[in-house]
């Protein structure tokens, strides 16, 4: 049915939803992570900012399996500053979870089974 080369081109959740609609059996596992990164800031942008800024990304790795083939589709749900107050970080997590919920609903509507996880 589906080969490695075919799912190698799939890079979006929608691609796997389309596969299910064509009759393929798609299994899904979701892993959530918070990745810390440093953003380099150009000195030309503003004089009052630092050269580097500690940031975080809230990412979901969607691990799709079609027959024997697997594909990881990462999706960033939120970008924030590590220097933000705790209440802003909580708001950002809530926004990321609301976005996750919308994607989860699309996956459920396509009858793809998975365990729901939240940031």
In a domain? residue 115: no
* Beta carbons within 8 Å of 69's beta carbon, 6+ residues apart: 2, 3, 4, 7
* 74 in any annotated domain: yes
Query: pLDDT by residue (tens digit) across 49-107?
Result: 667 889 999 999 999 999 999 999 999 999 999 999 999 999 999 999 999 999 999 99
Residue 52 belongs to a domain: yes
Entry pTM: 0.84
Tell whether 72 is covered by a domain.
yes
| Residues of the domain holding 77 | 4-109
Assess if residue 117 is contained within a domain.
no
Residue 119, domain member (yes or no): no
Number of structural domains, the chain? 1
The CA distance from 70 to 30, in Å, is 13
């Amino acid at each position: 049915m589906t080969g490695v080369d075919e799912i190698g081109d799939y890079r979006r959740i929608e691609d796997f939803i389309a596969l299910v609609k064509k009759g393929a059996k798609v299994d899904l596992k979701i892993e959530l992570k918070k990745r810390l990164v440093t953003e380099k800031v150009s000195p030309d942008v503003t004089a009052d900012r630092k050269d580097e800024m500690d940031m975080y990304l809230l990412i979901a790795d969607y691990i799709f399996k079609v027959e024997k083939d697997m594909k990881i589709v990462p999706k960033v749900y939120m970008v924030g500053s590590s220097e933000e107050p705790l209440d802003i970080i909580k708001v950002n997590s809530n926004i990321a979870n609301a976005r996750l919920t919308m994607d989860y609903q699309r996956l459920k509507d396509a009858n793809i089974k998975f365990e729901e996880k939240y940031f």
